[in-house]
Amino acid sequence: MRIAPRQWFSRKTLGKDLTAGAVLGVESVPDGLAAGLLAGVNPLAGLYAYLFGMVGAAFFTSSSFMAVQATGAMALVVADADLQSRADPERALYTLAMLAGVAMVIAGLLRVGRLVRFVPTAVMTGFVTAVGVNIVLGQLSNFTGYQAQGANRIVKTIDTLVHILQWSIPAVIVGAVTLAIIVALQRTRFSSLGLVAAVIVGSVCGVLLDLWTSRPVAFLRDVVDVPRGLPAPVLPQIDDVLYLIVPACSLAFVAIVQGAGVSASIPSADGHSQPDASRDVIGQGAGNIVAGLFRGMPVGGSMSASALIVAAGAKTRLALFVAGGVMALVILVASDLVAYVAMPALAALLIVVGIGSIRPGRVYSVIKTGPLQTTVMSVTFALTLLIPLQFAVLVGVGMGIVLFVAQESNRVRVREVRISEAGPMRETEPRPVIPPSEVVILQPYGSLFFASAPTVERQLPTVGRNSRHSVVIIRLRGTDRIGLAHIEVLRRYARLLAESDSLLKLVVSEPHVLQQIHAAGITDIAESDTYHGDEWVGKTLRRAYSDAREWVEDNS
C-alpha cells in the first residue's frame, strides 16, 4: 500500500491543489451540515464526518482524488437505524461509524471489492432512484417548516401535503430562494461554489425574515450548540455493537458499491494507472474509523465531491488535505456564522442533491432490457421507500444473487453436433426424440451449476419407446466444474437409455470433472464409456463417435 511521494505533493502543482482544496473545503461545510440533517442526527456530526472521514481515508485510498464524505444513501441508512432508542444516541452514532469502518477494512483485506461487479444494474438503479426520492421526501418538513407525522417518509409526505395551510411562509421563502440560486448557478462557471452562495444568501434571507415576521425561521443554532473548536476523540459504546451490526453491514455494502463507482469514474493522478477497488474499500473503512473517533457519522466515496475536486484542477491528493484544513479553519474561526445557517436552506440543498441522483435515462435502459430486470428494479425501489434502508439494502443484495442465478441458469443451451462422412462437424438444434440405432452427440454450453440442471434436462432429447440400440454422447468440453445436480441429470438420463437398451457416453476435457463423475459412481455409465479429451479439438470426440458407431452396428 505504498504511495508515491508525487501523489502527496509536488511544487509544480501546489497552486492548483491549494485552489481545488479550498473550493472543496468551502463547499463541504454546508454539505456536511446537510448530511447530518438528512441522517436525522446532530448536523455537526455530518460536518465532522466530512472533515475527518475525508482526511483519514486520503492516507489509504488508491484513487488520488476519491473524496470520502457522508453520502445521501449512507445518511438514509443512519436515519433508519433508530439510534434514538439507544441509551446514548450520539455515542451510538459514533460507534456505528467505527463498526462500519472495521467491516470495510476486513472486506478490503478479503478483496471483496472484486465482488462488486456481481451486483446487478437493476438492483442498484432501483436502490439509487429510491434514495433520491427518499432524500427529497425527507426534507419537505424542513423546507416547509411543518413537522409532519407518520411511520415513514411516504406517510409524512402525505401529511405535509394535507396540511399545506400550516406551512411556514418564511421557511418556504428561504427554501425557495436557496433553490432558485442553486438552479441558476448550476450551469455557470460559479457552479462549484453555487451551493455555498445559495446557502449563504438563503440564510441571510432567513435572518431578515426572522426579524420582520412573527413566525421564526429555524437555524442551526436552534438545533445544536455550535462549538468553537474541533471535537475531542471518543471511544465506541461496546453495549451497542450487537444492535448496530446490521446497519453497519448495510453501510459497508453501500460504501463498497458507491466507492467502486467513484474510483472507476475519476481519473488517476498519472492518468494511466487503474484503481485498486479493495484498497479503496480499506481507505473508506479507515475514514469511517477516524470519523467515528472524532464524533462524525459514517462516510463513503462521494461521486459529487470527487468530481468537484477534479473539475477544480486538483493534481495530487494534497488537495484533499487542503480541503480538510479549510473545513477545520471554518469551524475554528467562523463557528458563530455557521450557527446562523438556515435549516430550510440546507433542506433546499438536499432536495437538489436528491433530484440530481435520479437518472431517468438509466431507469429507461433497465426497462428496455426486459420484464425480469424491470421487476427487480421496481421491487428494490418500492422496498427502499417503504422499509428501513438497512434492510432494503440486504434484500437488494439477496435479490441480486437470485437474479444472477436466474440469468445464468437460463443461459445454458444444449446443441447437437453432427459429424458428416467427409469429416466436418456442424451444430444444430437437438432432435426432440432419440431415434433407434443412431449416434447422437450433445454439447451443453453455459455454466453447469445446480440451478441450471433443470434447464439442461429439459433440453435433452426424449428417450422414447423406439429409442433402442442408440448411443448418446454428451460432450463436456470447456466445463471446468459440474454440480451434483447435473450428475443426477446424467444418472437419470443414463438409466433411461439403459432401459431402452441404449448407451450413454461422456467426453470430458477437464480432469476435475472426470474425477467428480467417477466419484459419483454412475452405475449405468461404464468407465470405458468415459473419454478424457485432450488439447486436440475433436480428436477424442471422433474416437468416441467411432466406438459408438461400432456398438450400434454390433447391437442392431
* Entry field: residues in the chain: 556
Residues 6+ apart with CB under 8 A from 452: 408, 409, 410, 411, 412, 446, 486
SS3 512: helix
The amino acid sitting at 223 is V
* Residue 414, strand partner residues: 444
Helix (H) or strand (E) holding 548: helix 539-555
User: How far apart, in whole angstroms, are the C-alpha atoms of residue 35 and residue 75?
Assistant: 6
Specify the DSSP class assigned to residue 218: P
pLDDT value of residue 481: 76
Q: What are phi and psi of 474, to 5 degrees?
A: -100, 120
Angle between helices 241-265 and 89-109 (to 10 degrees): 50
Helix (H) or strand (E) holding 54: helix 54-58
Is residue 487 a contact partner of residue 513, using CB atoms and an 8 Å limit? no
Spatial CA neighbour of 241 closest among 97, 106, 105, 108: 97
pLDDT value of residue 291: 96
pLDDT value of residue 1: 46
Average pLDDT, whole number, for the chain?
86
Residue 414 grid coordinates: 444444449
At 32-89, the pLDDT tens digits run 888 898 888 989 999 999 999 999 999 998 888 889 998 888 998 898 888 999 999 9
Helix (H) or strand (E) holding 365: helix 360-368
At 381-391, the pLDDT tens digits run 998 888 877 67
pLDDT value of residue 172: 94
pLDDT value of residue 30: 86
SS3 428: strand
Question: Pairing relation of β-strands 300-302 and 413-419?
Answer: unpaired
User: How far apart, in whole angstroms, are the C-alpha atoms of residue 401 and residue 403?
Assistant: 5
User: How far apart, in whole angstroms, are the C-alpha atoms of residue 508 and residue 49?
Assistant: 57
pLDDT value of residue 114: 67
Per-residue pLDDT of the chain (556 residues; tens, 9 = 90+): 445 545 555 667 788 888 888 888 888 888 888 889 888 898 999 999 999 999 999 999 888 888 999 888 899 889 888 899 999 999 999 999 999 999 999 999 988 766 666 677 788 888 888 888 988 898 898 899 888 888 778 888 999 999 999 999 999 999 999 999 988 887 777 666 677 888 889 999 999 988 887 778 888 888 777 787 889 999 998 999 999 998 999 899 888 888 877 776 676 665 555 678 888 999 999 999 999 999 999 999 887 788 778 877 788 889 999 999 999 998 888 888 888 889 898 888 888 888 887 889 989 998 998 887 888 889 889 988 888 776 776 777 777 777 777 777 777 899 999 988 777 889 999 999 999 999 999 999 988 877 888 889 999 999 998 899 999 999 998 787 787 888 999 999 999 999 999 999 999 988 888 888 888 778 778 888 999 888 888 889 999 999 999 999 998 7
Q: What is the residue extent of each domain of the chain?
A: 39-307+329-405, 413-555
* Residue 443, strand partner residues: 415
pLDDT value of residue 260: 76
DSSP secondary structure of 472-495: EEEEETT-----HHHHHHHHHHHH
At 485-535, the pLDDT tens digits run 889 999 999 999 999 999 999 999 888 888 888 887 787 788 889 998 888
SS3 386: helix
CATH topology of domain 413-555: Transcription Regulator spoIIAA (3.30.750)
**Which regions of 438-479 does DSSP assign to beta strands (E)?**
439-445, 471-476
pLDDT value of residue 338: 85
Q: Is 188 exposed, middle or buried (0-12, 13-18, 19+ CB in 10 A)?
A: exposed
Residues 6+ apart with CB under 8 A from 289: 56, 97, 98, 101, 102, 105
Q: pTM to 2 decimals?
A: 0.71
> To the nearest 10°, the Cα dihedral for 176, 180, 181, 182?
100
DSSP secondary structure of 82-111: -GGGSSSHHHHHHHHHHHHHHHHHHHHHTT
Estimate the share of the chain in helix, then strand, then coil, as percent rounded to the nearest 5. 65, 10, 30
